[in-house]
Structure 1
Amino acid sequence: MNRRARRNHSAAFKAKVALAAVKGDRTIAQLAEHFDVHPNQITTWKSQLEASASEIFGPGGGTPATPAVDVKSLHAKIGELTLENDS
């Protein structure tokens, strides 16, 4: 019996499968056959989606804002480190 190589699914694929499971128009077994993943994996992704959905729609939901970067200070630090490496 040959084993299939381990697959890494993208976040978009996981979301697509989990949303299909939440929709409920097909069984988990049907979804597993359609998307070629194990039914337990679909159940796990569905649970993760349901658990984290409140974070998305909560206060300040969505992706966290990236902090502002002070480019001048970073360039100054690069210059300092370059001088240290050269000497």
Structure 2
Amino acid sequence: MNVSDVIEEITAELQAHRRIQRVVRVSESGIVIDAYYQQFIGTAAQELLVGLDLAQLDRVSQSGLLAIDFVKPASKYIVYIPLVVPALS
């Protein structure tokens, strides 16, 4: 499968879950690069996802490990899922 197919499949699976409110793909610089609602693309992720921790985003992108933060004021979780894709040779 190519990368866009994999991303599309992962996004569809996550978005289908009834308790997940929003699925977005965020660049390492914190900008939304893919979202269910096209108007979110290009937005700073911190504006869209209240409680997003850019330091956590950086750690996850560097480590390749999943992380979960509870945002107490909003009573929600933010799940950071790194997409690690092998380079094409």
TM bucket by the smaller chain?
under 0.3
Higher relative contact order (CA 8 A, sep 6+): 1
Q: TM-score, normalised by structure 1?
A: 0.26
